[in-house]
Amino acid sequence: MHRSRKKRRIAVLTTSRADSGHLQWIVNDLSRDPRVELDLIAIGAHLSPEFGRTVDAISSRQFRPTTDIECLLSSDSDIGMAKTIGVATLGLADHLGKSRPDLLLLTADRYEMLAAACAALALRIPMAHIEGGEISEGAIDDAVRNAITKMSHIHFACTQKARQRVIAMGEEEWRVHFTGSPSIDQLRRNKLLGLQQLQRKLRFPVPAGTLAVVYHPVTLLQDTTRESAALFTALSSVKSPLIFMYPNADAGSRKLIERAQRFVSEHPDSRLLVNFDHVTYLSLLARVSALIGNSSSGIIEAAALGLPVVNIGLRQKGREHAKNVLDVEASPSAILEATCTATSISFRRSLRRLDNPYGDGHASKTIAHLLATVPLGDRLLFKRSS
């Protein structure tokens, strides 16, 4: 039985750097709302020293995770990913079963989010979901995102087209809100680092013409790193300084890390960063000439910065994006040609007054308000197909 309480308890799950930056201002606004009791739950790569133990970066801000749940296996395989879902489900079932939040907020499409959704479904805890209705055909993220959409009870769509897709999946219109992406809020509500501040934080120079590389395993391929061979072949012919970021904790990530480490050891003007906070990351993107890889940040945040992006291969296939993104197949020649275009003065000039379908940086306040005010009870929990 739920105990009587005045405040609405809202649980927010964060798994890694992939979602913590998106959640920062939502958590900030919820933590300041007198109607809300916040439970911030950190799991997955956040607690892994191998991936930079990013839970410490969260804790250094004005809020701290209420609960840490260890679940990430030290593995580089799809079996490890599958077992991580199981371990996460056990830990989250225990915690959510005791805390019984009024709402659980889930973000996007990390596979660990599926564990939380399964536990909450069995416990009859209503779920709110950010980023439903988007498409990324080359990753298991696409199936995870769609599964969580159908398991959730209120939806925060980041584009107008995504909202229409969620409604087309049978979700009632009153449940589906266009908010824009909360990751854009970072650019409106935070002050980015100046060049000197950024270089002091990174402890190395970021010269003009530097390129950022963010490349993750393509989790629907049997060989999740198959497309990376073309990337590293192409990059070996690039003359610009390169800054690599660690990939997500997916099957094949260690192979990519080893390949990047080897590349950096052979190219003195290249760097490899394990992890850093979202504001530092955005400050870096604001200073580089282009972003190369297959990261969602190239789709969402880069458009708000007017940053050219070379989006490689299958991982983000089908995802809505602005004209700053050049989609290319995973071949060295295609990547090099697109990089040449992306770094040209004429292409950069063409991105002035860029229209970003992911909103204008006001998503967090909208999401926090809706979470604090949406009516609870049977109308929210019992879903009807529209």
* 262-321 tens-digit pLDDT: 999 999 999 999 978 889 999 999 999 999 999 999 999 999 999 999 999 999 999 999
Q: Is the pLDDT of residue 344 over 80?
A: yes
Residue 305 falls within a domain, yes or no? yes
Whether 231 and 173 share a structural domain: no
Whether 34 and 78 share a structural domain: yes
Predicted local distance difference test score (pLDDT) of residue 62: 52
What separation in angstroms does the CA of 172 have from each of 118, 151, 159, 165, 366? 21, 13, 17, 12, 19
Residue 290 falls within a domain, yes or no? yes
**Average pLDDT of the residues in 323-331:** 98
**Average pLDDT of the residues in 343-354:** 94
Predicted local distance difference test score (pLDDT) of residue 342: 98
Statement: the pTM of the whole predicted model exceeds 0.75: yes
Q: List the single range of 72-76, 152-156, 167-171, 349-353 with lowest mean pLDDT.
A: 72-76
Predicted local distance difference test score (pLDDT) of residue 386: 66
Residue 204 falls within a domain, yes or no? yes
**Average pLDDT of the residues in 229-249:** 96
Whether 46 and 125 share a structural domain: yes
Whether 229 and 128 share a structural domain: no
Whether 119 and 200 share a structural domain: no
How far apart (Å, rounded) are the C-alpha atoms in residues 121 and 126?
Answer: 8
Whether 165 and 197 share a structural domain: no
Whether 204 and 341 share a structural domain: yes
Whether 376 and 321 share a structural domain: no
Whether 98 and 241 share a structural domain: no
How far apart (Å, rounded) are the C-alpha atoms in residues 98 and 119?
Answer: 12
Whether 46 and 169 share a structural domain: yes
Q: How many folded domains does the chain comprise?
A: 2
Report the CATH number at residue 306.
Answer: 3.40.50.2000
Mean pLDDT value across the chain: 93
Residue 186 falls within a domain, yes or no? no
Q: Is the pLDDT of residue 57 over 80?
A: no
Find the angle CA(327)-CA(312)-CA(341) to the nearest 5 degrees: 55
Q: Which domain holds residue 140?
A: 8-180+362-381
Q: What is the pLDDT of residues 365-383, one digit of tens each?
A: 999 999 999 999 999 999 9
pLDDT band at 239 (very low <50, low <70, confident <90, very high): very high
